[in-house]
Amino acid sequence: MADSLILEVADLEHDVLTGIYSEETGKPQPLRITIQAEMKIADRYDPDTPLEASKNYMDLKFAATDALPDGVHFKLIESLADHICETLLVQDSRIKAVTVKIVKLAIAEGNEKIGITMTRERR
C-alpha cells in the first residue's frame, strides 16, 4: 500500500442555493458537506515541519463556503460538488484528488442521508 495523506473537513453544515423544484428555488437549503483532499505526501513530518509541507484545512472549508459565487443557484448538488473539487484542484497543484459528499438535510425524514459523493482526480 502506498503512503497517502488525506485532509478532511467532515460534516460542515452550510446553506446553499440549490434545487430544481419551485419550493427549493430562491432560498438557501441546508446541506451537510464532507470534503477529502488527497495530497502528495512529504517524505517525513517532523515536529517542526512547517504548514507549507501540507495544506491548511481551512482551505477545504473555504471551498465549500466563501468560495461559492454570490447569488448563484446550483440546480444540482452535483454541480456544487464539482465547483468545490475544481476550486481545490486549481488552488493547489499538490492535490491529487478531491472527494465531496453532500447530504440534503431539508428532505430527510428521519436518519436517512440523501445526497451524493463525487471524486475528481487531477488530469
Work out the average pLDDT over 107-121: 92
Residue 30 lies in a domain: yes
Q: What is the mean pLDDT of the chain?
A: 94
- The answer for residues whose C-beta is within 8 angstroms of residue 63's C-beta and 6 or more apart is 35, 84, 87, 88, 91
Q: pLDDT tens for residues 34-49?
A: 999 999 998 999 999 9
Residue 92 lies in a domain: yes
Residue 80 lies in a domain: yes
Amino acid letter for position 22: S
Work out the average pLDDT over 62-77: 95
Residue 1 lies in a domain: no
Q: Which CATH number goes with the domain that contains 62?
A: 3.30.1130.10
Task: Supply the range of the domain harboring residue 88.
Answer: 16-42+51-116
Number of domains in the chain: 1
Confidence band of 116 (pLDDT split at 50, 70, 90): very high
Residue 106 lies in a domain: yes
Work out the average pLDDT over 88-112: 94
Q: What is the DSSP string of 48-85?
A: T--GGGS--HHHHHHHHTTTSPTT--BSSHHHHHHHHH
Residue 23 lies in a domain: yes
Confidence band of 122 (pLDDT split at 50, 70, 90): very high
List b or e across 24-43, with b for residues whose CB sees 16 or more CB atoms inside 10 angstroms.
beeeebebbbbbbbbbebee
